[in-house]
Amino acid sequence: MTINQLETLTEDEVGMMLHILNVIDPIQYPKFEFKPQNLLWFKHPMLIRKLLNAFPRVLPEGHATYQSLMNKLGVEGEIRYETPPTVVPIPSPAAETGSIEQSTTGSL
C-alpha cells in the first residue's frame, strides 16, 4: 500500500481494513496488532488477497464501505446479491399429530 492510497481512505475504510487484518484474517505468527501506519508495510497483492478472503465474513452493513475501499485500492467489481432461497413450509406439530392419529386409528 502506498502513502497516497492510505491518505485517500476514509476513517471507516481504514477501520474496516484494520478490523479485517487484526480480527477477521489476522497473521498467524508473530501475533501483531496493526495500526494505520503499519498498513504501508503490506505489498499490494497480499493486501488485496487478505481483503478478498475476508469478504464472506463482512456483514452486509459494511458492504458499501468494503466496495469503496476496494475501488480505491484499484480492484474493480461489484457486490452481487443472490436471491434468497425459497422457504419450504414446515408442518406444525398439531398437523403431524393429527396425521399420526388418523393412521393409527385406521390400522386398528
Determine the Cα–Cα distance for residues 17 and 15; give it in Å rounded to an integer: 5
pLDDT, tens digit (0-9, with 9 covering 90-100), for 52-102: 999 999 988 999 999 999 999 988 876 666 655 555 566 666 555 554 454
- State the pTM of this model: 0.67
For residue 86, what pLDDT is reported?
Answer: 54
DSSP 45-107: HHHHHHHHHHGGGS-GGGHHHHHHHHHHTT------PPPPPPPPPPPPHHHHHHHHHHHHHHH
pLDDT, tens digit (0-9, with 9 covering 90-100), for 5-59: 999 999 999 999 999 999 998 887 777 889 999 999 989 999 999 999 999 999 8
For residue 72, what pLDDT is reported?
Answer: 92
